[in-house]
Structure 1
């Protein structure tokens, strides 16, 4: 905006200066109904420049007020989010929801608010509220992000949170159903690997766990001695599970 002002202002100053020192400053006649306004070109240009400057500074003033209000709202939303994080760490989960939802319209990233509120509600054993926040986060992603990397990142965060909540509830079948797409989309994501490890151990899906073990080693998810111990445990468990499964099939036959 300042560039536009300077690009217009200096040429006008040059023109006015030329006319002021000129013997003939020109003549302007403005007729409105029965009224005539007579002035020189110099005076008309000065009047227009004055009006332009007045309009410019009024616009800048209103813009600064609007930006100040927006910054104030943004800072307030950030403050509420920080306080919500502190309350989450303190275990005051109801206040976490209150603070996050009170500024949801002004939040920089509402998905963060919804997902953290979902985790807080889950920690407080309010499963219905948790599901509602997850649904709102999913709806927001569908409305605001039609595609692209940002949409994929948000969906990944949402699905990780959903699987984590399902696992904490003991909905192991749902968690197992949700972990496979995550492993496909983000095979080296540390939290995806951690969730997959827990799910596969609980469901005794040892072949699936063995498949991701090299990635767990690559990502240094655990110290090497723990990875080796887990690998040995899985190899010892596989023949046993296979044998017992074969025996059950033989008995049924």
Structure 2
């Protein structure tokens, strides 16, 4: 904009100084409704420049008013905070009714007059994610990013991670979630998303390491946590059974706490995979322990 102004001033200066230096200012004649108006060319250039300056000032003032968050600014932009609030309420009802498509449309429309544009776009993105509309969700997220404030960044990142999970972009999601785990290690939603990402990536050891925090934060019910824990441990046992080092599974097993070592389900899984690895001696030891535990349970 500044460069355009300089070019304009140079051109005007050329028109103005050229005739003046030649000693002849020239003339400009206008005929308007049978009226003849004549003036020197320099006077015409001065009036033209002044007129353009006035137009620019008027444009600048209207732009300021148009972009302001005042009642007049909202009216000029056909934005109404009341309409936005109504649309958000309707969108929330649509969400409760399971109409995610309608909810996302209303959230998008509410952004035009909403007090918090970022929130409207994030809600639209979340509704679109829930409805598997991944391309529109990405577009809504891009819109939210334009107005996102530092205090809104956490909510933005959570929606971003959910979209990345839906898109199977687990590596990108892992980078974001691990930063959040450092910032908010006890946040239940962060822990739930981290658990989902690690499980999808087959990183069972990371899921196991996450378990103590998930129990403390009560990220899921006790029964669900027990199921997830068992799935993670058995998945890790199976994973280590395919390791190039045949002793990797035994080393890992011996490093586990007593609670895990005494768990019947894990013992059975270990015995099964140890047999497959040809570690029959270790497998037999576990089978003896399993028989003792089962006989005690029968008594």
Residue in structure 1 matching 2:107, options 93, 100, 105? 100
Q: Does 1:191 align with 2:174?
A: no
Q: TM-score, normalised by structure 2?
A: 0.50
**Alpha-carbon distance between aligned partners in 2 of 1:230 and 1:95, rounded to the nearest angstrom:** 35
1:58-73 matches, within 5 Å, as 73=80
TM-score (norm 1): 0.59
Give 1:196 deviation, angstroms. 1.3
Please identify runs of 4+ aligned residues in structure 1 that moved more than 6 A: none
The 8 Å contact of residues 84 and 112 in structure 2, kept in 1 or not, is answered as no
Query: In structure 1, what is the Cα distance between the partners aligned to 2:229 and 2:131?
Result: 36
CA shift for structure 1 position 140: 0.8
Which sections of structure 1, spanning at least 5 residues, go unmatched?
1-65, 146-150, 249-253
Question: Using a 3 Å threshold, how does the CA distance of structure 1 residues 102 and 235 change in structure 2: closer, same or farther?
Answer: closer
Which residue pairs with 2:228 in the alignment? 230
The structure with the larger Rg is: 2
Q: Shift of the alpha carbon at 1:131?
A: 1.0
Q: Per the alignment, in what secondary structure is the counterpart of residue 185 of structure 2?
A: coil
How much has 1:198 moved relative to structure 2? 1.5
Q: CA deviation at 1:78?
A: 1.4
Equivalent in the alignment of 1:112: 119
Q: Tell me whether 112-121 or 173-182 shows the greater mean CA deviation.
A: 173-182
Higher relative contact order (CA 8 A, sep 6+): 1
Rounded Cα–Cα distance in structure 1 between residues aligned with 2:218 and 2:103: 33
Shift of 1:84: 0.9
The reply on whether 1:208 has 2:206 as its aligned counterpart is yes
Partner residue of 2:238? 240
Quickly say closer, same or farther: Cα 1:125–1:219, change in 2 above 3 A.
Answer: closer
Contact in 2 for aligned 1:118/1:133 (Cα 8 Å): yes
Q: How many corresponding residue pairs?
A: 174
Q: How has the CA–CA distance of structure 1 residues 156 and 232 changed in structure 2, closer, same or farther, with 3 Å as cutoff?
A: same
Give the match for residue 157 of structure 2.
Answer: 159
Cα distance between partner residues in 2 of 1:171 and 1:134: 16
CA RMSD of aligned residues (A): 3.0
1:179 matched to 2:177: yes
Residue 86 in structure 1 maps to residue 84 in structure 2: no
Q: Separation in 1 of the partners of 2:214 and 2:145?
A: 29
Question: C-alpha deviations, 1:190-239, integer Å up to 9, x for none?
Answer: 11111111222222211211222111111112233443443344334434
Q: Does the CA contact (< 8 Å) of 1:77 and 1:103 recur in 2?
A: yes
